[in-house]
Structures are given as structure tokens and as C-alpha cells.
Amino acid sequence: MNLVWAVLLTSAAGGPEDPVKVDGGWISGSSSGEVRVYRGIPFAAPPVGALRWKPPQEVPPWEGVRACTTSGAWCPQPRPLLGRELGPTGEDCLTLNVWTAAREAGEKRPVMVWIHGGGFTTGSGASALYDGTVLAREGAVVVTINYRLGPFGFLGHPALSKESPQGVSGNYGFLDQIAALRWVRRNIAAFGGDPGCVTIFGESAGSCSVCRLMVSPLAEGLFHRAIAQSGGAHGRNRHLRERREGMDPLEKVGEEIAHGLGCDRAADPAEALRGKTAEEILGASNPAQGLFGKGIKFGPVVDGWALPEDPGRLWEEGRHARVPFLLGTNADEGTLFLRQLPIRTAAGYRLAVRSLAGEEAEALLRIFPTPTDAEVPRALNRLVTVGAFVAPARILARASARDGAPTWLYHFTRVPESPLMNPLGAFHGLEIAYVFGNLQSPAMSLVFREKDRELSARMRAYWIRFARTGDPNGPGLPPWPPYEPAGDRHLELGNEIRAGSGLFREACDAIDAARSNRPGPADPPR
């Protein structure tokens, strides 16, 4: 679906702008109207050669003025499913992009740092869908980041752990995100941003990252607000050395990959692994894509250091950043993933629910019934939407509000009228275009109507107001009630903007009960 966005979106670029001093040296950018754009800014040393599978290192300095007018490489990744966009790839991928309309360094505009989705396996902050021009024009300084993906970002192995002063491996992509936030703290004032007013926001795997950054001691103090769009902290979280919830420890997974590459017989397996090409690494690791894709699921690992314990448990124990928190889900999160499920009959659906939900299965089958085979796709969509997205979001909202952090919950329900989009409903990731405001080009008018542009304008106002003040409410906006567990209130963002309560309450209660008795579905990758 991102490929459709890339074709429809346009981004104008003008001449070079006045140089800006950042880590490493001076850079120049380009302009898009009143917005200055800087693309492909390195925030860490290229993680290649001996630095493959090492924590991000300091940016090497350069001489003169570096032209930052072209986005950096995307981390090597498998060809994406679902028609997603894919740019030029390379392991020298630790770059970020900045959009700002500030004319002076001291303006202290709110900073919004976007973490892209892709199941920790695909994607890039350079995707056309994440163009920050509109948000920057409306007052934010927008940063989109790259981080290492799949086996390049999340490979563990005993030999790699032995090299580490902390005795761990596997969280390189997560450490990249933290390094990018540290870069923002040191450098964003030069772009007119306020390093004391930083919001992290992301969707799907980016949202899962936000929720993990909120419990990582290494990220403490690097952000001041957080927005999580369709992704949480609960589910099956892989551990570095322990088998948990049916998942092999990451070091064992790494040993199997090394064996497949013939590196296990080398005197130095880590050096042998670093000698393999990116294509060989990808081929041997077979990264899984999508919520139900086959292969190895990569992502942040519980290593006792960057992630000291299971992130869901850390949230439930109140060991999370107490910052203003805005989070939510879409009405049809499941539609993009249904083709990965080999369930076609009502009998197969009931068998799958009973095997996953145990004692709570009958309640879920009553809430999401399938009287005929024709009802299976709709029921599966609802079950995936609530089980993997809505219910986990409610857990986080409850924990955040319980622990005293201002919290706001949303549910996005707008379905575009275009035949290109309409069959998928309010699908996973649809809200991104509304948040970034990238609906204005002539081509996009074929997909989105005036109703969509009006909703986008209000969503941008909520998001920017939240980034600036920690509260999405503001003049001219429909009131958004803060979340509190007793009222269980949310804001519907759809054909109308209106407050509601008890979103899928009965189903969420049943899923919570099932989750407490056995492992739930994996976090929703994208």
C-alpha cells in the first residue's frame, strides 16, 4: 500500500538553504516553500564492516558543507509485501531527515520525531508517506529516522554478546533509535526546535518502539511526550537467552543463522558473519513480514540492559516514563493481514479461536460470530483488530492514566470513498496520511475527498497541540476527554469527531482474561 502513497504524493524542492552546524560538520538543505528540508543527515557512523552488529558509533566529521538534499539508503530488507514502497538499500543507513519552517535557531518549536513501521523488517523514514512539510508549515520541527532492520538490527549471537561490555547482543536497531534521539537533543536547536519539548511518535512497529522506549532506562529524559499509533508493548517478546512464550532465545536463533551460513565452524563466528554479504544474511535469516508471516520475527529483545524485562510487564508494574501519552487504533486493523491467515471456513475459525483463547473462546465466538463461511473474513478482521490492537492499547492507556500521566485514547474509523481504498475499510496505517497531511496533491484528490482533508486538518491540530503542550485540546477543536479507566473514554476520528466510551469493552475484557492465562498474539508488525 505504501507504493500507492509514493506514486500519489509529490514533494517540491527548491534551492540550497543556509548551512546548519550539526554533529560532524556543516550541512545544507533545500526548500519547499517556507519549509527547509534536510535529508540524509548522518546521526551515527556507517554500521558496516567491523561496525556491523555494534552499537551506533559517533559520526565521523567531514570537511566543507555537506549537501543534505537526498534521503539516505534504506536498510537492506526483503522485498516488501502488500505493494509497499522500497527505495535504494544499503547498510550505510543511519540517517535522518528534518523539516522546519523556523527562520532562527532560538524559536523553540515543538519537535516531533517519527519512528517508521514495517515489522522491524521493512520500511524507512525516507518513505514519501512520511514527508513532514505540512506538519512543519503548521509549527512543528519534524524528524524522521532510519534504524537497522531485521537481522542487521536485531541479530543476537553468543559471540556478539561476548564482544559487548554489557554482555548482550541483538538490540542494535533499538539502540539506533536512542542514538537518533540523542542526536536530536544535541542538534535540533539549530533547526529552531526545542530540545526540551520532544515528542516521539510512530505507527505499528514504530508504535511498538515508542512503547519500548518508554520503558528503556537508556531512553530516559530523551523525550517529553509520546504518541503510539496501532502498536503496543504486550504480546510475545523474545528474550536474549531464555525461551519464553514458545519463542526460542535470540542467541539460539543467531546460532542457527550462523550455522546456515557455515559461520559456526569458524574460529571467530562474529568475524565470519561480518564477512557475509547483506544478501547472504537476508537469505539465511528469512525475516518474517506481516502479522502472520512465516519466517523469523525480528525486533527489540529483552536483554536485561536496553530492555531490562518484558516490556508489557514493565508497563503493568508502572516502570514506564510518566509523560503525556496519546495512543489509539484503527477500525479495520486486520484487513491487510487476512491473506496471511489460512482460515476460510466457519469451522476453521471456531477451531482457531478455541485453540488461542481457551476458556474465553466461547465469549469471543459469541461477540464475533461466524454463522456461515462468508462471515469469516469480517469476523477475523474484528478479532485481529481487537485482539492485537484495541485490547493492548486499552491496557497501556489504563496503566498510563493509573500512574498519573495525562492520557488520551483515539479510534480512527474514516473509510475513504475511493474504490482503491474502500474495500479495506479503516485499514492498518491509513491514519498516517491524515496525521502528516499528505492529501493535497492533484493525484491524491483521486483518493481523498474534502471530508478527508477536513479530518486531516483537525487531526494535525490535535497532534501538534499535544506535541506543544502535552494536551491535544485547543481552540476550534471538538473536546477530547482524557482517558481514565473508570470511564474508559476515547475520541472517534471518523466521518464525525465525537467522544465515546467502552470501545469493544466486552471483547477486550474477554481478551484480557485469555491473555492472563496464556500468551497472546504477537505485537502487530508492519
Catalytic residues: 204, 333, 428
Inter-CA distances, 184 with 90, 110, 111, 191, 195, Å: 23, 12, 9, 10, 7
Contact 396, 208 (CB under 8 A): no
H or E element: which one contains 39?
strand 35-42
Backbone angles phi, psi at 51, to 5 degrees: -95, 0
Contact 520, 387 (CB under 8 A): yes
Contact 75, 147 (CB under 8 A): yes
Q: How many whole angstroms separate alpha carbon 222 and alpha carbon 193?
A: 14
**How many other CB atoms are found less than 10 A from the CB of residue 31?**
15
Cα 116 from chain centre: 5
Start-end of H helices in 278-330: 278-285, 311-316
**Buried b vs exposed e over 405-436: b needs ≥16 C-beta within 10 Å?**
bbbbbbbbbbbbeeeebeebbbbbbbbbbbbb
Residue 7 CB-density burial (10 A; 0-12 exposed, 13-18 middle, 19+ buried): exposed
Q: How many whole angstroms separate alpha carbon 415 and alpha carbon 433?
A: 13
Start-end of H helices in 41-166: 133-137, 150-154, 158-163
Would you state the cell numbers that stand for residue 131, as one nine-digit string? Answer: 514527508
First to last CA, the chain: 11
